[in-house]
Structure 1
Amino acid sequence: MSIGALDATAAYGRALGIGKDGIGGTSPAGGIAASDDGSFAGLVQSLVGDAAGSLRTADTASARQVAGKGDLIDTVTAMGAAETALDTVVAVRDRVVSAYSEIMRMQI
């Protein structure tokens, strides 16, 4: 999947909650407002939430294994899933940074 410079700019604006009137749409907690319309911000929020859940599951499984109450296969599977989720988040981050750098190199 290729992310163009204009797509990245539009996604960045939606992530910040900047509309046509320039008003941001942040949640009361100060984070980005959750969106269920399939936007880029919703995708990133879901991706990070899933990765955090995988990391928590792996942490719990490894703690059980250290305590002698867990199954080794379950621990290795959870660690593999957490590693894959983290690699995915890092890859998306790298693509966003690359798109941002491309935007910054554009001449006005």
Structure 2
Amino acid sequence: MSIGALDATSAYGRALGVGGAGGIGGAKSPLAPSNGTQGGGDFGSMVEGLVTDTAQSLRAAENASAMQVAGKGDLIDVVTAIGAAETALDTMVAVRDRVVSAYTDIMRMQI
């Protein structure tokens, strides 16, 4: 049985009473926006911020690489952007692995 990261975060949201029964559709997502207007520092907003930051750093690395190929960018900028994107992606994957591991541990607990 394979458990995806989305399944783990959906289960976490349902445990907190944040998400709906299906977790998808009109129900509120456990990954609430982290735009600074909310008072909480919950796990869902931390994960969403991590995913957003990772996506932005990957886009920045892709843009720097494209500019280098076009002859308009600096190689050092490309290497720096790719290094930052790699670090962000490694961090996101490590958090995902820990969430999935915790979820499987919880699912194995006897009631």
Q: Structure 1-normalised TM-score? A: 0.74
Q: Which amino acid aligns with 1:51?
A: T
Determine the structure 2 residue equivalent to 1:12.
Answer: 12
Gaps of 5+ in 2: 1-7
Structure 1 runs of 4+ with >4 Å offset: 25-31
TM-superposition CA deviations, 1:62-83 (whole Å, max 9, x none) = 0001111100000000000000
Letter matched to residue 12 of structure 1:
Y
* 1:30, distance to aligned residue in structure 2 (A): 6.7
Larger RCO (CA within 8 A; separation ≥ 6): 1
| Amino-acid identity (%) | 67
Change (3 A) 1:13 1:99: same
Equivalent pairs, count: 96
Identify if the C-alpha distance between structure 1 residues 99 and 62 changes in structure 2 by more than 3 Å, giving closer, same or farther: same
- C-alpha offsets along residues 25-83 of structure 1, whole Å, 9 cap, x if unaligned? 98969744325311000100100000000000000000001111100000000000000
TM-score by length of 2: 0.73
Give ranges in structure 1 of 5+ residues lacking alignment. 1-7
Q: Is 1:78 aligned to 2:78, yes or no?
A: no
Q: Structure 1 residue 64 and structure 2 residue 63: aligned? A: no
| Structural RMSD (CA) | 3.0
**1:49 equivalenced with 2:52 (yes/no):** yes
2:100 paired with 1:101: no
